[in-house]
Amino acid sequence: MKLTLKVETAESAYTVTTSLFNVIEWERRTKRKASDLAAGVGYEDLAFLAYAASKSNNITVNVVFDEFIKSLVNLEVVESEAESFTEAAPTEGN
C-alpha cells in the first residue's frame, strides 16, 4: 500500500510517499493490520505514516512523534495506491 501525503507545517510543505516498511511500522505501533486502513483512517494514523515516511526519506522531523503532530498545519492524502499482485495469465489447460 502506497499513500502519497501532503504534509504542511508552519515552516514547510512537502509530499511524501509511504513504503511497505512504513506501513509495517504503523502495524507494529497500532497492533492493527493494514487491511484495517480500508475501514477508515484517522488523522493519527495519517500523521504516523507521514512521520515514518518522512524519516525514511531523510526529511528532518522532530524526534518525538507528538512534537511532529503539534507542528502540523495540514495533512492530506494526495494519492493512494493499493498494492497489486500479478497473477499468472490463464493457460489453455487452466
Element (H, E) at 1: none
pTM value surpassing 0.85: no
pLDDT, one tens digit per residue, over 19-76 is 999 999 999 999 999 999 888 889 999 999 999 999 999 999 999 999 999 999 999 9
Mention every residue, 6+ apart, whose C-beta is less than 8 A from residue 64: none
pLDDT at site 93: 62
Write the DSSP assignment of 19-82 as a string of letters: -HHHHHHHHHHHT--GGGGGG---HHHHHHHHHHHHHHTT----SSHHHHHHHEEEEEEEEEE-
Is pLDDT of 92 > 60?
yes
